[in-house]
Structure 1
Amino acid sequence: MRIITLIIALLFLLPAGAQSKRKLMREIVAFHESENARFRDPATSPLKLDRIASFKALEVYPINLKYSVKAKLVRTPDEEPFLLRTNTERLAEYVKYGEAYFEIDGKELMLNLYRDPSGNESESNILFVPFTDLTSGDGSYGGGRYLEFKIPEKENFILDFNKAFNPYCVYSDRYSCPIPPRENDLFVRIEAGVKDYNKY
């Protein structure tokens, strides 16, 4: 009995890292399923109506936890709102919330994190991260991709590129989408998240 108890205890304690990885995998799969459900629903889909019926699933890179990176949040208080260019004449207002520092393939990288100052209460704690990388135009959408997530509770957090998604203007010309600023160009290949839109 003592041996069985010990084995159960070891299995429970066995690698907390492995448990964390399983949790991350579940979260990523759930995110992709949620995105696919959104695209299938005429009430929420960015696709044109005549393309929804044939939609099956977004094409994504295989999940790779290499791109679920440990990042450090550095706040940049007292930032003034500024205007981001979009794919239309509209200018989108954002305010810089902070910077995320992380490493991929031995390269030290940084992304600016933005918040919509005009957002409602439910959106006020959401950070917006438009970015490009070396897959932009070579596997992923040439105009870059986005990340969105709740403001981290701690300075160290997981920045998960497996949840990268395309701007909605990729799927329909009725959308106006912010263009990633040069400061958010990443000179590495982020082979994670959604791929280029080329089949619907």
Structure 2
Amino acid sequence: MTYAEEFEIWRAARLAALTAEDGWLNLTDRVEIAAGRMTVGAAADNDVVLSAGPAHLGVLELDADGASRFDAGAGAVALQPVPDNPPRLKVGDLLIEVTQVEGQYALRVRDAASPALQDFAGLESYPLDPDWRIEADWIKLETPKSLGIDMVTGVETSVQLTHVARFTHEGAQIELLPTHWKSGKPMFVIRDRTAGRETYGASRFLIGEMAGDKIVLDFNKAFNPPCAFTEFAVCPLPPRQNIMAFEIRAGEKKPIEG
């Protein structure tokens, strides 16, 4: 399989994930909640008022430890954990999730019938450029390091760094920090000098691909964070070290308006 063919498979999977029932296009609500019992629905008399779904969807119970159950009228059912995602439950056309950021819980709702899925204009990317597929050194830190990461909401979270990725660009040594892990792979939150003009202003995400004692940073696969598509996502901002003072004209551009 050629590199171009492999990339097209990746791009198709990226588009499928974005437009899936649990993708980022059909989020309708994110409401901060506290432990307790609360009614949920679109009617104003609910404790948690949604912008989608029936007037009275049901009752959510949230324990102090984050365990949650939802009763849509046939008895309480536990929200189920999903790899790399918060616990969730399908209720009619709605997919409800209980998320948590630094101790603050929120009810997040997706609507499978949302017109946003039909109205999605697609993804726009730079032309594929093999030169932006970089094999970097994967360097393990002698001791893990704690690092504060700002979120778009202004909240700061803390992550543990175990490695850095090091490569050379135009004679300069670059080190990027993998601040998150997705499906066992290191994720880099990055920004470059195309940000705000050609690419999404806050950041892009990049998943590293392990290759022995190296890591492949394929910037052709740099993609927009959820916050580029919805106001109801909470995304990390890049650490200072991952803000690069040069253009990376590879990967996804800003989402297409309309």
Q: TM-score, normalised by structure 2?
A: 0.60
Unaligned runs of 5+ in 2: 27-113
1:154 corresponds to which residue? 212
**Conserved in 1, the CA contact under 8 Å of 2:193 and 2:248?**
yes
| Runs of 4+ residues over 4 Å off in structure 1 | none
Written as runs of structure 1 = structure 2, the 5 A alignment for 1:133-148 is 133-148=192-207
Task: Please give the alpha-carbon distance, in whole angstroms, between the structure 2 residues aligned to 1:97 and 1:25.
Answer: 32
Change (3 A) 1:169 1:107: same
SS at match of 1:81: strand
**Percent identical across equivalent pairs?**
24
Residue 14 of structure 2 aligns with an amino acid whose one-letter code is E
Q: Number of aligned pairs?
A: 171
Alignment of 1:183-198 (within 5 A): 183-198=241-256
Separation of aligned partners in 2, 1:115 and 1:175 = 16
**Deviation at residue 63 of structure 1 after TM alignment:** 0.7
For the aligned residues, what is the CA RMSD? Answer: 2.1
Q: Which residue of 1 aligns with 2:107?
A: none
Alignment correspondent of 2:227: 169
Could you list the runs of 5+ residues in structure 1 that have no partner in the other structure? 1-18, 117-121
Separation in structure 2 between the aligned mates of residue 87 and residue 105 of structure 1, nearest angstrom: 31
Asked if structure 1 preserves the Cα contact closer than 8 Å seen for 2:166 and 2:176, the reply is yes
The Cα shift of 1:133 comes to: 0.6
More strand by share: 2
CA apart distance, 1:103: 2.5
CA distance in 1, matches of 2:4, 2:169: 19
Contact (CA 8 Å) 2:165, 2:215: kept in 1 or not? Answer: no
Cα offset, 1:143, TM superposition: 0.7
Mapped contact 2:133–2:220 kept (Cα < 8 A): yes
C-alpha contact (below 8 Å) 2:193/2:247 kept by paired residues? yes
| In the alignment, structure 1 residue 180 sits paired with structure 2 residue 245 | no
SS of residue in 2 equivalent to 1:78 = strand
Counterpart among 13, 31, 37 of residue 10 in structure 2: 31
**Which residue does 1:129 correspond to in 2?**
188
For the Cα contact (< 8 Å) 2:123–2:256, is it kept in 1?
no
Work out the CA distance in 1 between the residues paired with 2:252 and 2:202.
Answer: 13
- Counterpart contact for 2:143–2:162, Cα < 8 Å: no
Equivalent position SS for 1:59? coil
Q: Which residue of 2 aligns with 1:70?
A: 135
Residues 151-175 of structure 1: CA distance to partner in whole angstroms, max 9, x if unpaired? x252223210011011101111111
User: What CA deviation, in whole Å up to 9, does each residue of 1:23-48 have, x standing for no partner?
Assistant: x323321111111112222x122113
CA apart distance, 1:147: 0.8
Structure 1 residues 32 and 92, CA, compared in 2 at 3 Å: closer, same or farther?
Answer: farther
Does 157-166 or 104-113 show the bigger shift? 104-113
Helix, strand or coil: the match of 2:215? strand
